[in-house]
């Protein structure tokens, strides 16, 4: 028993030494976190990168949403902070300030393609042909009815517009931790709100206040949204285009302004609810953590993010090669945008 005691004491001492030696240890794996929309793309690139470059380890990709990722990114400089933050929206001024305060001054923005946001409902249900105005009317806390600004009276889609199905309004939208939420707010709700022509003297939050009885905010990923649709067949959910394409057998997509969301309609600029996707690179880590530059170049290469590349097969909408060349040139020049 005595020897067991000594052994355990030795183990504790060893563990303590292991802990202290870890202080000095620098990392040789690129660490990435952020948007769950970008996650599948970044994971695929990470895997391919590990396979194509035998001298580098496969980068590790975490999620946590755009906001969560940028928060980790802006925590400081050093091996215990992440090198790349995935984002489904551009970095905000406040986030940039937080970064600067923590010493992260060299932030390089990489835009690598587009993603569409679709409205989808259960495949067995009726078809939806929506417009931003109709969606706004369905979910705003207060709407204009006969010139008066009143609490939202609609309970069914058909009450908003006769062309819509006679179905109870229920909309599952991404929570505020998702970058998708902002695009939804900007491209759908705000657009619909402006079209609605609010009366003079309406409250400031008229465009942003949503009614909580029909709107379900989803903090998790699209699988959770899908589960909502399965439990309540009347729900219309907000998904990424790529997620919808993987689950076409259970989902039916709604047209927006009469346009069917697809890679083609997003690239052509016809489909209104799309957004560019980004990742942010901590310039100060280039040279310290091996492989960051190669990762960025590999990500933006024709075979990966380009037309017909690996990511397009996974649902990314590629951007014009000129834009990619411009982004890559800015990255290589070290321009902190």
Partner 1 sequence: MTDTLSTTTNASAERTKLIRAGLRKRHLTEAIFKGFGLGAIVLALGFVALLFADVLSKGIPAFTQSNLHLSVTYDPETIGVDPAPVRTAGQSDADFRAANLKWQRDVALLNWNKVVEASLRAAAPAGFEIDSRQILTIAETNARHQIRDMFVADPTLLGKTIEVDVLASANADNWVKGNIDRNLGDAQQQLSAPARNLIDTFEANGTISSGFAWSIFTNVDSRAAPAAAGLAGAFMGSLYMMLVVILLAVPIGVASAIYLEEFAPKSRLTDLIEVNINNLAAVPSIVFGLLGAAVFINYLHLPLSAPLVGGLVLTLMTLPTIIIATRGALQGVSPALRQAALGMGASKTQMVFHHVLPVTLPSILTATIIGVAQAMGETAPLLLIGMNAFVASVPATPLDQATALPVQIFLWQGNENRNFFEARTSAAIIVLLGFMILLNAIAIFLRTRLEKRA
Binding site for partner 1 (CB under 8 A): 1-2, 5, 8-9, 11-12, 15, 18-19, 22-23, 25, 27, 29, 31-33, 36, 39-40, 42-44, 46-48, 50-55, 57-58, 60-63, 75, 78-80, 82, 123, 220-224, 226, 242-243, 245-250, 303, 308, 310, 313-314
Nearer to partner 1, 201 or 308 (CB): 308
**Would you give the DSSP letter of residue 301?**
S
Angle between helices 39-52 and 292-299 (to 10 degrees): 110
Give first-to-last CA distance, the chain, whole Å: 64
Nearer to partner 1, 126 or 334 (CB): 126
Residues belonging to the chain: 337
Q: Rounded to the nearest whole angstrom, what is the least distance from the CB of residue 160 to partner 1 in the complex?
A: 27
Q: Rounded to the nearest whole angstrom, what is the least distance from the CB of residue 312 to partner 1 in the complex?
A: 10
Q: Rounded to the nearest whole angstrom, what is the least distance from the CB of residue 263 to partner 1 in the complex?
A: 13
Q: Where are the beta strands (DSSP E) in the chain?
A: 31-34, 60-64, 84-87, 107-122, 129-130, 142-145, 148-151, 171-174, 215-218, 236-240, 251-253, 255-256, 274-282
Nearer to partner 1, 25 or 93 (CB): 25
Q: Rounded to the nearest whole angstrom, what is the least distance from the CB of residue 60 to partner 1 in the complex?
A: 4
Q: Rounded to the nearest whole angstrom, what is the least distance from the CB of residue 29 to partner 1 in the complex?
A: 6
Nearer to partner 1, 189 or 251 (CB): 251
Run of H or E residues at 183 = helix 179-183
Nearer to partner 1, 90 or 291 (CB): 291
Residues 283, 334: contact at Cβ < 8 Å? yes
Tokens 């109709």 -> residue: 134
**Would you give the DSSP letter of residue 284?**
G
Nearer to partner 1, 57 or 156 (CB): 57
Q: Rounded to the nearest whole angstrom, what is the least distance from the CB of residue 303 to partner 1 in the complex?
A: 8
Q: Which residue, among 118, 151, 158, has the nearest Cα to 134 in the 3D structure? A: 158
């Amino acid at each position: 028993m005595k020897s067991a005691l000594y052994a355990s004491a030795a183990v504790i001492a060893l563990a303590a030494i292991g802990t202290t030696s870890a202080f000095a240890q620098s990392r040789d794996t690129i660490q990435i976190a952020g948007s769950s929309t970008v996650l599948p793309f970044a994971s695929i690139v990470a895997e391919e990168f590990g396979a194509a470059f035998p001298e580098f380890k496969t980068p590790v990709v975490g999620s946590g949403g755009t906001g969560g990722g940028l928060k980790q990114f802006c925590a400081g400089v050093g091996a215990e902070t992440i090198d790349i933050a995935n984002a489904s929206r551009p970095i905000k001024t406040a986030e940039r300030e937080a970064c600067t305060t923590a010493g992260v001054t060299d932030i390089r923005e990489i835009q690598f393609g587009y993603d569409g946001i679709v409205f989808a409902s259960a495949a067995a249900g009726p078809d939806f042909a929506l417009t931003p105005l109709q969606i706004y009317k369905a979910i705003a806390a207060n709407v204009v009815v006969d010139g008066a600004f009143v609490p939202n009276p609609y309970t069914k889609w058909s009450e908003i517009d006769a062309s819509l199905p006679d179905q109870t309004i229920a909309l599952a939208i991404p929570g505020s931790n998702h970058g998708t939420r902002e695009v939804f707010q900007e491209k759908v709700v705000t657009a619909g709100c402006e079209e609605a022509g609010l009366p003079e003297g309406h409250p400031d939050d008229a465009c942003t206040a949503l009614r909580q009885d029909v709107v379900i905010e989803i903090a998790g990923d699209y699988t959770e949204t899908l589960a909502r649709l399965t439990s309540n067949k009347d729900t219309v959910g907000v998904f990424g285009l790529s997620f919808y394409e993987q689950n076409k057998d259970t989902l039916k997509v709604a047209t927006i302004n009469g346009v069917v969301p697809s890679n083609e309609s997003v690239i052509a600029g016809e489909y209104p609810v799309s957004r560019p996707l980004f990742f942010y690179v901590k310039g100060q880590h280039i040279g310290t953590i091996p492989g960051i530059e190669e990762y960025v170049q590999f990500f933006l290469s024709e075979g990966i993010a380009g037309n017909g590349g690996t990511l397009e097969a996974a649902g990314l909408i590629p951007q014009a090669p000129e834009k990619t060349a411009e982004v890559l040139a800015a990255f290589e020049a070290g321009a902190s945008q």
